[in-house]
Structure 1
Amino acid sequence: MVRRRAVVAAFGPLLLSGVSSGCTATATAPETAAGAEELRAAVDRWAAAVRSGDLAGVELASWSYRITRARQDGDGRATVRAELGYRIAGYDSGPVTTERALRLARRDGRWQVTSDRPAQGAAQQLWDQGALQVVRGRRSLVLGSGQDPERLRAVAATADRAVPAVSAAWAGPWPGRVVVLVPGSLEGMGALLGAPADRHRGIAAVTTGRAGGGPDAPADRVVVNPEAYTGLSGVGQDMVLTHETAHVATRTHTSAATPMWLSEGFADWAAYRGTAHPAGQAAPALRDAVRAGLAPAGLPSDGDFAFTGDAEALARAYEGGWLACALIADRWGEPELRAFYRAVGAHRRREAREQAVSQALREVLGTTPEEFTARWRGYVRERLG
């Protein structure tokens, strides 16, 4: 895991302006109120410097800290833990938030921030891994670290193709743009996600975001695994980024009540929509199971999508979800598939999932869970047998 003072290196020399960051402070004993105010003022100045200088060419709409803990360590040094909230102009309607640990030193009679790093237990941001590289596509913003610039331009071109493909599949309002992060390694990807790198070794990309977020939610981030993604063909890379972009488009209509067979299946359906991939080629793991007489008895559960190391089982789950969504589009129509997705996501609680799916099947598709599952099993055998 690489930890760099990229923000300090980029913004330390800047003249500090007086723009307020909206910071609040809670100081721990024996900190005095006056001491807390001085630390808060220093963090405010730091936030204003970053905001006015942008982030390595990325225009920031906001950058502020909410201090949750402050401590003077003696010898003219202090430590602050704070929640950073920032927005990229043109992409984030709400702030991305993360926990940061700031070190300060007292110089020339006032406190100054000397380092800004992820707090203990918090995920890294891309700038923590080195200097940011920025590529702007027509519909995408690609941020890299330690990457070949040509590769980043290729990712932007692929993301630019993914956006209109997803817009056609979703046929509903969404921002129509995507932010893609490309770290320098699998380990860098794991650090961005706050998870062990091995958990994502075979995964080409993932999307982070807040399910069911409203109009003020921050933009999702598509995080690319540079090792797995690079090993894909051009068609495979198109499929991956279209799949992930579909998650971005559907995020506000995806809730805790949305089963993974629907959210992942719709994303795959959007990626395959308009292509000429035969079902057997698109779903080889499930095809082999069907031909071996091991067709699934029911729709994939959320547990089937866990990254447990059983790649074949994971593939069958994704393929089963894709065919469930393909069935709805083929049998009832694409508008009904989109309406079904929205109807399920309108229920917000995970405990309401069974009710949400059952109600949407009845009200949108005019069927029952039992009838739909039976029809899906027949569709799987028909397409893959």
Structure 2
Amino acid sequence: MSPVRRLLVRALPLLLSVLLAGCGAPAARDAAEGDIRDAVAAWSRTPPAQLAGIPLEGWAYEVSAVRRDGAEATARAELHYRLTGYDTAPAGSAREVRLSRDGGDGGGWRVTGDRPAPGAPPQLWDQGPVAVVRGAHALVLGVGRSPQTLSEIGAEADRAVPAASAAWPGPWAGRVVVLVPDSLERMAELLGRPAAEYRGMGAVTTGRVGAAAAPADRVVVNPEGWAELSAAGRGVVLTHEVTHVATRAATSARTPLWLSEGFADWAAYRGGATTPQQAAPALARAVRRGELPGALPADEAFAFGGDPEALARGYEGAWLACRLIAAKWGDATLVHLYELAGRGPLATALEETIGGDLPGLTLAWQASLRQELGAP
């Protein structure tokens, strides 16, 4: 046998052992990752104790990635759950689950903690123990608020749901979930936005637009802004936000904000005795100064965190535009316009409902502003 052949024969067992070891390493890693995924699945079968009282179903963590560091591990996961009787599809939340291995490398994995994934907003229960108030049409979940406050908000929401249904005859669930954190800052955390954007606001609504299978929206109350509202103001705010919930499936990126926000205010003030002078003071001041708006409010007029006076004029102008359409062409026409504007061009929707165009509607709106908001 040649020296070269003898060298190859001697090296062959070593080469085979290296190849076999290399083939076995991924399997070992896969087994460990599988154990971690199994541990998360077993742990997530039962919601945490601090969620007791919340009507949950479909509670599950879907692991997307696993990172190991010795006897410690982190699993990135998407939490899916439904609020029974309120969510038509699972709500989601990006989470980070921490695990450790009992007894070193030979032990099993157990979950030691769960928190929002980096950059993801928290859930309400991440902020503390959740109190639950159930109403006829509303589920109120609060942290750090008194039972009386939550009950009062629940009663207001129970009145808002029928009011929204009366304004919006289209199909919707007819129920609402209201979240009440303990501060403006905590509210902003839930929404993933700066607190300054919500200062002075009573509540906002979350949710995806135009998705028929979307989970129920959450109306999120700003406790600081809520405390400053009168009883009538609280009713207007909650009816406005609940109307957004009712119209969500009919709302799309095509829907101009003057129509979606104006419709929600129209529903909130509908049937009441509030006059334009009372409900549109910022716009009334501008009209009396001779500053008549040249166009219906653009989408940018509704951006949070800007000039409060300009924001108020945007909302007030939108409400008066929808009020005009309902008064001149009928409530059903306004509803139909909303439906069509979410499915196609606004120009087509206006032509099919009021028989006119945007310039003509703008002129009619400007005339109504002069008449209703001009100096006495």
Q: CA deviation at 1:316?
A: 0.2
Q: CA deviation at 1:30?
A: 10
In structure 2, give the amino acid aligned to 1:72: R
Q: CA deviation at 1:56?
A: 2.0
Q: Which has the larger radius of gyration?
A: 2
1:305 to 287, 302, 306: 302
| Alpha-carbon separation, structure 2, partners of 1:265 and 1:166 | 13
Q: Deviations over 1:10-35 (max 9, x none)?
A: xxxxxxxxxxxxxxxxxxx9981111
Is residue 179 of structure 2 the alignment partner of residue 181 of structure 1?
Answer: yes
Q: Percent identity?
A: 55
In structure 2, give the amino acid aligned to 1:98: S
In structure 2, give the amino acid aligned to 1:89: T
The DSSP-based 3-state class of the residue aligned with 1:50 is coil
Aligned equivalent of 1:137: 135
1:358 to 333, 347, 350: 347
- Given that 1:56 and 1:131 are in contact with CA atoms closer than 8 Å, whether structure 2 keeps it comes out as no
TM-score normalized with structure 1 length: 0.87
| Alpha-carbon separation, structure 1, partners of 2:65 and 2:160 | 43
The DSSP-based 3-state class of the residue aligned with 1:276 is coil
Question: 5+ residue gaps in structure 1?
Answer: 1-28, 348-355
Aligned equivalent of 1:382: 371
| Alpha-carbon separation, structure 1, partners of 2:190 and 2:262 | 25
| Alpha-carbon separation, structure 1, partners of 2:306 and 2:340 | 33
In structure 2, give the amino acid aligned to 1:324: A
Aligned equivalent of 1:149: 147
Q: CA deviation at 1:54?
A: 8.8
2:217 to 210, 217, 220: 220
**1:2-151 mapped onto 2 (5 Å cutoff):** 32-50=29-47, 55-74=51-70, 76-107=71-102, 109-151=107-149
The DSSP-based 3-state class of the residue aligned with 2:291 is coil
Is residue 306 of structure 2 the alignment partner of residue 317 of structure 1?
Answer: no
The DSSP-based 3-state class of the residue aligned with 2:252 is coil
Aligned equivalent of 2:6: none
Aligned equivalent of 1:165: 163
- Given that 1:31 and 1:72 are in contact with CA atoms closer than 8 Å, whether structure 2 keeps it comes out as no
The DSSP-based 3-state class of the residue aligned with 2:47 is helix
| Alpha-carbon separation, structure 1, partners of 2:179 and 2:242 | 13
Q: Deviations over 1:296-323 (max 9, x none)?
A: 0100001111123311100000001001
- The 1:298–1:32 alpha-carbon spacing in structure 2 relative to 1, beyond 3 Å, is same
Q: CA deviation at 1:268?
A: 0.3
1:233 to 225, 230, 235: 230
- Given that 1:84 and 1:98 are in contact with CA atoms closer than 8 Å, whether structure 2 keeps it comes out as yes
- Given that 2:196 and 2:305 are in contact with CA atoms closer than 8 Å, whether structure 1 keeps it comes out as no
Aligned-residue CA RMSD in angstroms?
A: 1.5
In structure 2, give the amino acid aligned to 1:56: A
Structure with a larger share of its residues in helix:
2
2:200 to 174, 199, 202: 202
- Given that 1:31 and 1:71 are in contact with CA atoms closer than 8 Å, whether structure 2 keeps it comes out as no
Q: Deviations over 1:256-303 (max 9, x none)?
A: 001110110000000000100011001000011111100101000011
- Given that 2:143 and 2:180 are in contact with CA atoms closer than 8 Å, whether structure 1 keeps it comes out as yes
Q: Deviations over 1:100-128 (max 9, x none)?
A: 11101123632111111011100011000
| Alpha-carbon separation, structure 1, partners of 2:196 and 2:109 | 41
Q: For this pair of structures, how many residues does the alignment match?
A: 346
Q: Deviations over 1:320-373 (max 9, x none)?
A: 1001110110010000100000001123xxxxxxxx110100012110111111
| Alpha-carbon separation, structure 1, partners of 2:275 and 2:36 | 62
Aligned equivalent of 2:269: 272
| Alpha-carbon separation, structure 2, partners of 1:132 and 1:30 | 43
Q: Deviations over 1:157-179 (max 9, x none)?
A: 00000000111011121111110
TM-score normalized with structure 2 length: 0.90
Question: 5+ residue gaps in structure 2?
Answer: 1-25
| Alpha-carbon separation, structure 1, partners of 2:187 and 2:162 | 26
| Alpha-carbon separation, structure 2, partners of 1:213 and 1:113 | 35
| Alpha-carbon separation, structure 2, partners of 1:49 and 1:110 | 19
